[in-house]
């Protein structure tokens, strides 16, 4: 009999692999599009001079979500942030894609703490994606579970989230 922990791990692993595959597929399509746009070397130089870029995923610890649930919510947040960045800040998205697409999961204690960081991120002009759970499994409907901040400059994101611990 498979234990609940094994099932959660398998679910989390599956969601993680699916999100990785999705990002890879999207990146390949964007690369093909960029190559067709007659991009020049100046764009690459501009990107390199802007430094490191990353995305952080803030996971609410007070909800006591299982590993599979956390993986699923983080996937929703990452995809949502990617879509927002594609519309609102394509330059940051290109830089992030060309520098390894760093994604860091961090712990946040409460909804209030998460919402404070959301407001700070918006004040700095960063892309955000706040996930509200549908309420079909472990969490009540419309509960705010994970916040994605970025992709954006590592220095700015660290200024806002540097005090948080790794998930």
Q: What would the 3-class secondary structure string for 96-126 be? A: HHHCCCEEEEEEECCHHHHHHHHHHHHHCCC
Report if pTM > 0.85. Answer: no
pLDDT tens per residue, range 93-146: 999 999 999 999 999 999 999 999 999 999 999 999 999 998 888 889 999 999
Residue 110 has what pLDDT?
97
pLDDT at 85 over 50: yes
Structure tokens of 75?
């996937």
Cβ–Cβ under 8 Å, residues 149 and 78: no
Rounded-to-integer distance, Cα 65 and Cα 8, Å: 10
The CATH code that applies to domain 4-161 is 3.40.1490.10
pLDDT at 147 over 90: yes
The residue written with tokens 């949502």 in the block is 80
Break the chain down into helix, strand, coil percent, rounded to 5.
Answer: 55, 20, 25
Please state whether the peptide bond connecting residue 20 to the residue before it is cis, i.e. omega within 30 degrees of 0. no
**Size of the chain in residues:** 167
pLDDT tens per residue, range 17-60: 667 666 665 665 554 444 344 443 334 333 333 589 999 999 99
- Give the end-to-end CA distance of the chain in Å, rounded to a whole number: 29
């Amino acid at each position: 009999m498979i234990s609940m922990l094994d099932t959660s791990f398998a679910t989390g692993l599956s969601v993680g692999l699916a999100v990785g595959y999705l990002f890879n597929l999207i990146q390949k399509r964007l690369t093909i599009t960029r190559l067709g746009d007659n991009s020049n070397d100046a764009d690459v130089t501009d990107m390199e001079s802007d430094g490191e870029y990353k995305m952080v995923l803030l996971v609410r610890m007070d909800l006591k979500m299982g590993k599979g649930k956390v993986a699923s919510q983080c996937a929703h947040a990452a995809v949502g942030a990617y879509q927002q960045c594609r519309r609102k800040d394509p330059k940051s998205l290109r830089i992030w894609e060309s520098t390894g697409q760093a994604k860091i999961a961090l712990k946040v204690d409460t909804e209030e703490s998460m919402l404070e960081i959301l407001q700070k991120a918006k004040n700095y002009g960063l892309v955000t994606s706040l996930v509200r759970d549908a309420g079909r499994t472990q969490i009540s409907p419309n509960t705010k579970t994970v916040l994605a901040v970025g992709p954006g400059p590592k220095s700015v994101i660290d200024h806002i989230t540097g005090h948080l611990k790794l998930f």
